Each structure stands twice: as structure tokens, then as C-alpha cells.
Structure 1
Amino acid sequence: MKIRTFTFAINIKFVIQPISITALSSISALGTTKDEVWSNYQRREHLFKQKMFDAHMEWVAQLDTEAAKEIQELRNSDSKYKKLDDSVLFAIYVSRKAIEEAKWRASDNFGINIGSSRGATSLFESYHSEYIQNKKSSTLTSPTTTLGNISSWVGHDLNSKGPEVSHSITCSTALHALLNGIAWLQSGMADKFLVGGSEAPLTPFTIAQMKALKIYARMSPLAQSKDPLDDYPCQALNLDKKQNTMILGEGASVACLEKGLAKNALAQILGIGYATEILKHNISISSDAKCFQRSMQMALGEMNPEEVDVIVMHAPGTIKGDASEYKAVQKIFQKKQPVLTSNKWQVGHTFGASGMLSVELAVLMLQHQEFIGTPFISYESKPKKIRKVMVNAVGFGGNAVSILLSK
């Protein structure tokens, strides 16, 4: 059993024992099954649609008709679920499928950590509107809009006996859930942990918040030209773009973690890293993303950076966000850089769920031994074999996470 030792800049050492990902499940514009998700990645077409918000058309990445129907069926399957937010239902849906794939049972006493950046956004907006109009609040307003809703209801649905944790660490929430799950496993307090994130942010107020930051994609074409790249509303990892192009998506993704090298492992977690940027303002990040430099270096440990074949970037489609992360990669990997990719140009930014959707892409590339790139990079060479993939995520507040995976 291989054990890796990591040394922090502040001279604290920790040991990461082998951790296996034994199941993955997701729901998003990409689909609901691994085959469907992989097929959509191979098509290399964006999945955005136009939707009306407060009399304005905006780009979004929403569930397709079939997936939305399955969520509605889940809502109608139990009277208790009728009042739950989509963020909770998304989490229940993917958790059921992940547990089935991993062949876990309630008696396995597994833990749950599924977080969200925004939580029950749609319900909260509905309840608040009702209060403004009637000056009264519905009975279930508080219990159905707390963030703890997500893991608590998943635990209820799965009849689990272990700890149930929900948190919000903005857009790196899902990868922080993974970090927390690893900590529980390494402490010996649990043998299995279900981790991930869920987000249902396609609401008028949430879209308005992103537009107020001036980071949301415009409905008009990016340029009056014949350049085929202008057909992509989100230009994540296009380092030459002249305007911000972030687009929101909805969905959830979870992973089953187990101690040791499991026979049914989809991938192994080789390294973990995290760091926080020193803020200058609420959404600041340094021009060379020092938080990512630290998190990637921590995830690498003593490993030669040249061993990393691919990095799945956070790359939200904003000018500063994409460029700063790219500069951080240059600092850490220098002349021998891994090939870079992102899925947000295709499926949008799912906030707290985005990191685990990136892990899913990484694992699928490892399994199929096929690199999935972006339209904005001319790949002179692609890895012939994909052995190690790093996944990045960062959120408001500069809280970066990097995860190193291997087949």
C-alpha cells in the first residue's frame, strides 16, 4: 500500500493513505448517465439554451427534458419531497445512483458531505416574495431553505447512519466536501464517505447577481465576424477573449470514497491541496492566482510535475479568472505544462457542484484514455496515455482546491 507524505510551507507534515473513488453520479445539461455524459463530451458542442428572466433572455445550461422529468417524478414520489428545493432533489437523485453503483448499504455506516454555494435559491426567492406580498412567512420556510437540508435529506432518503454535513465554500464547495471526506477516512472515524455538491441557481435573482458583477455572458454575438469560435456563448479557457462570458448551469455530482485500493475503483486520489488568497476585495484573486499555485503544489507534494498529463481547469469564462489560473499553471509547471481543458464552455458554471463535475470529466478521460479539449486551444500534441489528471476549483474568497487523480 503506497503512502505519500506531504510537507506544507509551514512545516506541517501529513500522510495521505490510498483513497479510492468507487462510484460517480451526476445530473446536469450533460445528462444523467456516464454514457450520456461521455457522449456529450465527445460531441464537443455547447449545451446552452436561452431562457427568459425578468423580461430578459439569458444563456443558461439547464437539465434536458428527460432529466427534468425524472426530478419531477422524484418530487411526486413522496409527499415529503413536494416542498423541497431542486438543489435537494438533485442531490437525492445522484446519491441514490452512486450508492447503487458502489453497492453500499445503509448498514455500511457511511458519511455524507454534500454542499452548495447557494442552497435552496428558488425556494428562498419564492418564500421571500410571498412574505413581501403577505407580510407572513410559510411554516416550512426555514426548515426547507437551510443549507443543512441537502445532506440531511440525502441521509433520510438513503437511511444512512453516519455523519451528515452540508457546507458552502462558494464554487469550490464540492472539492472541499471531498477534502472533508478524506479527512474523516484518514482519521479512522469512517470507512466510506459520499461527497459532492448540488446547485439549482437558474433563478432571476441569482442571474441578476452575476450580471451585477459584470461577468455574465451577453446574449449578443461576441464579435461581428465569421470566426466560428464566436458561436460559443461561454469562452472558458479562451485567453484572447475581450469580455466576460460566464454562464450558469444547474446540476449535482457526487462521488463514493473508500479507504484503500478498492477492486472496483474508478480512480485513485493521489494528492490533495488547498489554499486561500489574501483578499483585496470580495471577489479578488491575484493576477497569477497564488491560491492555485499553493494548492497545486500541495497536491503534487514531492511528485515531479512532469508526471501530470492533464489539468481540468476551473476556468469560469471570465477574463481575469481564466488568465490568472493559467499563469498559476505556468508558475508551477513551467516549460513542461500538462494539456489544459475545462467543461464550463460546454455545461456552464454550476457553482458548488462544478468541482465534482470536473472530477467526473477527469475520471472519464482516465477510463476511456481519451482527452477532451476545448475549442479555444490548438492542441499541438495530446497525451498518448493519460495516467494522472489534476482538477482545480476556486470560489469567491480565493479558496482554491486541487485534486490529483490517477487511473
Structure 2
Amino acid sequence: MTEPLAEDLIVIRGRGRVSALGLLPTLPADASPFSTHATSLPVAALPAGAEAAVTQLRRDVPAYRQLDRTVLLGLLAARQATAAAGWSPGSGDAPNRPLAVSMGSSRGATQRLEDFHAEFLAAGSVPAAASPFTTLGNVASWVAYDAGSTGGAALSHSSTCSSAFQALGNAMAWLRAGMATRFLAGGTEAPLTRFTLAQMRAIGIYSPHPATEWPCRPGAGRPSTFVLGEGAAVFALEKVSRQQLASEQSAEPVFVLESVGFGFEAIGSKTGLSPDGQHFQQAIGRALAQAKVTPAEVDAVVLHSPGTPAGDAAERAALRAVFGEPLPLLLSNKWLIGHTLGASAALSLDFALHVLATQHWPAPPFLTDIATAAARPIRRILVNAAGFGGNAASALVSVLEA
């Protein structure tokens, strides 16, 4: 038996996202959402509708015209989350309800940094805007500015591909400590640049499949099918008592962010990991322990699983070490949106909430161990993330029982 949840819960009041699937929470899968980059590599880029929203955002606010695409994607997702939560701009600025921001990104202002560097190589100088527009901290600070927050912290995190969960874990800690009462937290990444794609290709993990043939295939084995994508997901978090939730009597499902656990393995290769995924085992174990949840109480796992054979196998070995057999349902959204680096954990969490709300998800059109349907209701999902350097993070999210 597990202990009951604490009286104060960290509730996801709203969420927003932008990815190769667009701005909506639906998950169409009738045709591959991947496209071919100018480098001839398959990528998961924004579709036309979402691209138009990025363009409109640049036009509407003069101060945003110099911002990197990574920041703009974060702004779009944060606006959705704020609207879904019913938080009007500046609503968190009351002295007792400051709105804080915590954003993760692996690379930050990728395109602007490359542009400024190219200008430096050509001219030997850069404009004054080069530094403030390429620091990682500008991701969170612009989200805070757009949300009208003047009384809370603005924190940016980078821990490669688990960056978004570093941001959410930090937000949870602040909320539980009473250092904030409302948080916008998530991850954003726009890495579809020639230099970044060349880096991924140099590692030898990029998918050989064309864009039209579902090139990212988690759990499908060899060859490696890593595909880079862009996107963002942001969550409106609030510490709420069970009593307050009961009094609200909302017809909408209430999502609880129960815990975020972290793991690290000190290995020589900064792009490798142990065969049994020790960092995953640590992160999963700590997430379960914080939430006071047993492995048997987890219904499904949204995998990190980027389509690299070694990484996919290590994560599954870690899951077997924690859960035994049979494993919970294995889920993935990377075959739909690619690997979005520092935004990937946030987009995986958004996918988990979609599954909790609808109990449905599309089936991959290739052979894999990803589940296609559930035999019983899914009420609690574990979400995994990992990144270069040996770090991993796991989050537990559930739908509150009436």
C-alpha cells in the first residue's frame, strides 16, 4: 500500500505546445509530418499554420523581431498555457501570487548565435545585441516579459535533452517551498540549423530513411533512426490544496505533477550510456520514491527512446530492472515529432497528458514495441528523458481521481 498524496498538490492548470504537429493537442498520424531539410536530411519542422503563428508573433511585437526562433517557440507555447490556465497577463503579480518562469533548452539561441558568428567571421565585429540575444537566460526572461511577470524569478536551465525536466523539477521545488505560487515551466528548442544538423550527423546516429517514410522509429532496432525536430511545450503549474480543488468542481480532468526524479552516471563517453541505463534507473527510482508510488501503480511509460539502438535498449533494460515483467505500456511521440533536444521532455509530458485525457494515441506504422492500445484505463504515466553527459530525468503525472 502507498501513502496518500499530500494535501497540497502541484497541479497543471494549463499547457501549450508547438511542434511538427502544429499548435493543437491532437495527434494526427495519417501521413508523415516530417520534411526534408536543405541539407537533404529528414527533419520534424513546424507545419505552415504554426509557422504563420511564429511570423505573426515577430510582426506584432517590435521587440521580438530580433529574438531567436527558440525563444519565439517558447513564447507561443507559454501563451497557450497561460490562456488555458485562465491567467491573464500580469495576473501573477499580486504580492502573494508572484508568477515565476522556469525554461529548459539544450542549445538556446542556436540560429542567432550562428548568424552572429558568421557576421563576426566576415566583418571582424558583431552588434551590441549579440550577447544579450544569445545567452541562455534570455529564453526564460522573454517568456516572463511576455507573460507580464514582474514579481517572480525567471530561470533558464540547460542539461542537454533533459533540460525541460530540470526546469519542471526546479519549479516544483520552488512551489513546494512556498517561494512561488504560480509557475510557467517547460522547454523549447529550434535546432534545425545546418551546423546543428551536421553535429548530429557526425555522431553517426541520423536516420537513413526519407522524410515520407516515418524516419524516426523508436524501438525498431537497427539502423539508428534519430531525427532532429523543433518545438516547445510549457505548463502552467500551481500549488493547490485538495480542499480548494474539491470546491472548484471542474468538469475538466485535473492533472497532478507528482514528482520529478534525476539520475546521473559518470562514464567516460559523453555521448554514451551504460547498457543497463543506470541513470534511468536512478531517475525512475527517485521519481517513484518522491511520489510514494510503487512500480505496480504506473500504467504507462512515455519513453525517451530517440531511435538509437543502444539508447533504446538501455532504457528498456532500466525499465525491466525497476518494473520487472511485464513492463507498463510503452509509449512514444518521437516518431511523430522527432527529437527536439531540450524541448523533448516537455513535449513528452504534453503527450502523456493527451493520453491521460483521451485514453487514445496513434499507432506507429512500423514494427516496434510501442503499445497501440490499453486494456485498462491509464491513470498514471512515467515520462523519461536523458541527455549527453550521463544525465537522466523522470517525471510522474496522474489524473486526479474524483
TM-score, normalised on structure 2? 0.89
Which residue of the partner structure matches residue 46 of structure 2? 63
Structure 1 residues 216 and 406: alpha-carbon distance in aligned structure 2, compared to 1, 3 A threshold: same
Which residue of the partner structure matches residue 284 of structure 1? 272
Q: Match for 2:213: what amino acid?
A: D
Moved more, 195-204 or 77-86: 77-86
SS for the counterpart of 1:336 is: coil
- Could you tell me how far 1:95 is from its partner in structure 2? 1.1
Two-structure CA RMSD over aligned residues (Å):
2.1
Which residue of the partner structure matches residue 131 of structure 1? 120
Report if the CA contact (8 A) 1:371-1:382 is conserved.
no
- Could you tell me how far 1:192 is from its partner in structure 2? 1.0
- The count of aligned residue pairs is 379
SS for the counterpart of 1:194 is: strand
Report if the CA contact (8 A) 2:345-2:383 is conserved.
yes
- Could you tell me how far 1:282 is from its partner in structure 2? 1.3
Which residue of the partner structure matches residue 76 of structure 1? 59
- Could you tell me how far 1:119 is from its partner in structure 2? 0.6
- Could you tell me how far 1:266 is from its partner in structure 2? 3.8
Structure 1 gap ranges (5+): 6-14, 222-229
- Could you tell me how far 1:92 is from its partner in structure 2? 1.2
Structure 1 residues 32 and 371: alpha-carbon distance in aligned structure 2, compared to 1, 3 A threshold: closer
Alpha-carbon distance between aligned partners in 2 of 1:190 and 1:331, rounded to the nearest angstrom: 37
Q: Deviation digits for residues 75-132 of structure 1, max 9, x if unmatched?
A: 0112211111001111111111211111124132211001210111101111111111
Q: Deviation digits for residues 31-69 of structure 1, max 9, x if unmatched?
A: 1022xxx242xx36431111112xxx0100000011101
1:299 pairs, out of 287, 297, 318, with 287
Which residue of the partner structure matches residue 346 of structure 1? 336
Alpha-carbon distance between aligned partners in 1 of 2:73 and 2:370, rounded to the nearest angstrom: 36
Matches within 5 A, 1:127-276: 127-160=116-149, 161-219=151-209, 231-238=213-220, 241-260=221-240, 261=242, 262=245, 263=248, 266-276=254-264
Structure 1 residues 127 and 389: alpha-carbon distance in aligned structure 2, compared to 1, 3 A threshold: same
Structure 1 residues 399 and 211: alpha-carbon distance in aligned structure 2, compared to 1, 3 A threshold: same
Alpha-carbon distance between aligned partners in 2 of 1:274 and 1:306, rounded to the nearest angstrom: 20
Structure 1 residues 328 and 373: alpha-carbon distance in aligned structure 2, compared to 1, 3 A threshold: farther
- Could you tell me how far 1:406 is from its partner in structure 2? 0.9
Alpha-carbon distance between aligned partners in 2 of 1:155 and 1:377, rounded to the nearest angstrom: 40
Which residue of the partner structure matches residue 308 of structure 1? 298
- Could you tell me how far 1:70 is from its partner in structure 2? 0.9
SS for the counterpart of 2:91 is: helix
TM-score, normalised on structure 1? 0.88
Which residue of the partner structure matches residue 18 of structure 1? 9
Which residue of the partner structure matches residue 107 of structure 1? 91
Q: Deviation digits for residues 327-365 of structure 1, max 9, x if unmatched?
A: 101111102310101111111000011101111111111
Q: Match for 1:284: what amino acid?
A: G
Structure 2 gap ranges (5+): 93-97
Which residue of the partner structure matches residue 324 of structure 2? 334
Alpha-carbon distance between aligned partners in 1 of 2:132 and 2:3, rounded to the nearest angstrom: 43
Report if the CA contact (8 A) 1:3-1:17 is conserved.
no
Q: Deviation digits for residues 151-197 of structure 1, max 9, x if unmatched?
A: 11111112102100011111001111110000000111111111001
Task: Determine what percentage of the aligned residue pairs are the same residue.
Answer: 38
SS for the counterpart of 1:394 is: strand
Which residue of the partner structure matches residue 95 of structure 2? none
Report if the CA contact (8 A) 2:363-2:372 is conserved.
no
